[in-house]
Amino acid sequence: MKRLSVLGATGSIGHSVRKVLADAPGLYEVEAVAGGRDAAALAETARALGARFAALADPAGGAALKEALAGSGIESGAGPEAVLEAARRDTDVVVSAIVGCAGLAPTVAAFAPGRRVALANKECLVAAGAFFMAEAARLDTEILPVDSEHNAIFQALSAGPHKAVEKITLTASGGPFRLKSREEIARALPQDALKHPNWNMGAKVTIDSATLMNKGLELIEAQHLFGVSADQLDAVVHAESVVHGLVSFIDGSVTAGLALPDMCVPIAHCLAYPERVATSCRKLDLVALGRLSFEAPDLARFPALGLAHEVLKQGGVAATILNAANEIAVAAFLEGRIGFYGITDIVAATLDRINGGPAPASIAEALDADQLARRTATGLLPKFAAKAS
């Protein structure tokens, strides 16, 4: 029986983990769960999964969490140190699904010889990828990607040696504005951008999917995960979200990862690898689906993807700045303070304001660069406020 801990247990990834575990009774036992501010939801999750320890990131929620777990025998704690304790507990697999740079320190704290980290946190790779992967290698920790595109690539890469890889292609659904004109997109309100056609995700990543920034961030992640150059990475728009990633080899063959859009599929793979575990998710029926479509991304309508690819080629600290500025800009858009294209404008302006530098070599350096970019992007918000719809 494998032991696992789930960091970010009350979010969308955490809910999918629960579904996978429910489909595989007796195969896993849960050591620890960690959540953000919702003590009641974390307590319910801890009870449902039979966890031994529950950690809430918000120190103010400690009493509420303890009360909600009364009589369960589940230990609890609150605050950053409690989350680090959850990460360090003795397990075989740690699911890293804390959103944002807040997930970086706990994920690195989970590194231990022979342990697997099922990585769903983007910032670990975008904001500190070189350091993160080097530290995982130093501590003999296996990193498996939970993101559907990267998980598909991980599986497809087994078809040939790394030296034979010519290109890695990630797919993007195109989001809710795939068929809209630039003028229509410019007038989009938050409620329009939150209507993703295929995936049910949190607000921030849904907006990133609408701008295609999400795909840009995934290209940056892929470079660190798979050790390829920027020129070996690209993205195509695939509206059906069935083909998640493709690997092209030098002999002309292409291996792809296909599945219906359901996060339970890559999660089940990460938990069971190298074995397979049955899930209750819907299975792909190509005949019923009928067709698969592909098109090149339109960088005039979706400039965020082009900006991210420039950052990918630039390297250094640029990706850390890109990520932090994007978080500030997306939050401002969701609050109605800027227009849709203001997101990319603010990110680009932040990159222009901050001189480039070497990639962060520690958690502290990554967080310092992140905070600098956030302050800079916040200071730029008034300049673009007039462009809000």
Residues 8-59 have pLDDT tens digits of 999 999 999 999 999 999 999 999 999 999 999 999 999 999 999 999 999 9
Is 175 in contact with 301 (CB distance < 8 Å)?
no
In whole angstroms, give the CA distance from residue 158 to residue 145.
Answer: 14
Convert the pLDDT of each residue in 87-119 to its tens digit: 999 999 999 999 888 999 999 999 999 999 999
pLDDT at 199 exceeding the cut of 90: no
Give the pLDDT of residue 205: 85
**H or E element: which one contains 383?**
helix 363-385
Please report which confidence band the pLDDT of residue 300 belongs to, taking 50, 70 and 90 as the band edges: very high
Convert the pLDDT of each residue in 159-196 to its tens digit: 999 999 999 999 999 999 999 999 999 999 999 999 87
In whole angstroms, give the CA distance from residue 189 to residue 322.
Answer: 23
Span 110-134, average pLDDT: 96
pLDDT at 387 exceeding the cut of 60: no
**pTM of the complete model:** 0.94
pLDDT at 389 exceeding the cut of 60: no
**H or E element: which one contains 191?**
helix 190-193
In whole angstroms, give the CA distance from residue 94 to residue 87.
Answer: 7
State percent of the chain over pLDDT 70.
98
